[in-house]
Amino acid sequence: MTKSATDLMQEIVLSSLIDAVAALRAASKGVPNAMLRDVQAIGPNTGFGDLPKELQASIQESVRQAFNRLLKEGYSVSPGRPAPPPIRPRPQGPGGGGRPQGGPRPPQNRNGPRPGGDRNRRPPKPRG
């Protein structure tokens, strides 16, 4: 029986968290105060480069394992960019769907008045 995506992701995140805690322990070299200081330094604005080297290595390995596990379980993992959508021909109605491609364009009245009036012209000033 295959696992649901939710169950699989929970297992991956839990495994990554356990690996990260072990990496923090290794980074503190067994000193509890150092580990506490490292944990307290992690916040919402912490960048990847701000983490201890051991934790960075643990995260990189966890990401690799997560992608491999998703692929092994049969889930598709897309590359960095989504695939472009397939090109579909334009639907043509019963009358051909407008003017034919490459045919003559309808004439354009460039010098005549605009439909709805000339919007850029000010009304004349009243005399008096």
List the end-to-end C-alpha distance of the chain, in Å, as a whole number: 92
**b/e map 73-98, b = 16+ CB within 10 Å:** eeeeeeeeeeeeeeeeeeeeeeeeee
Residue with tokens 């992690």: 42
Rounded Cα–Cα distance for residues 40 and 18 (Å): 17
Alpha helix ranges (H) inside 1-128: 5-28, 32-40, 53-72
Task: Look at the pTM and tell me if it is higher than 0.75.
Answer: no
For residue 58, the model assigns a pLDDT of 92
pLDDT band at 116 (very low <50, low <70, confident <90, very high): low
- Range among 68-72, 84-88, 102-106, 119-123 rated most confident: 68-72
Residue 19 has pLDDT above 80, yes or no: yes
**Torsion sign, CA atoms 87, 92, 97, 101:** positive
Residue 76 has pLDDT above 70, yes or no: yes
Under 8 Å between Cβ of 90 and 97:
yes
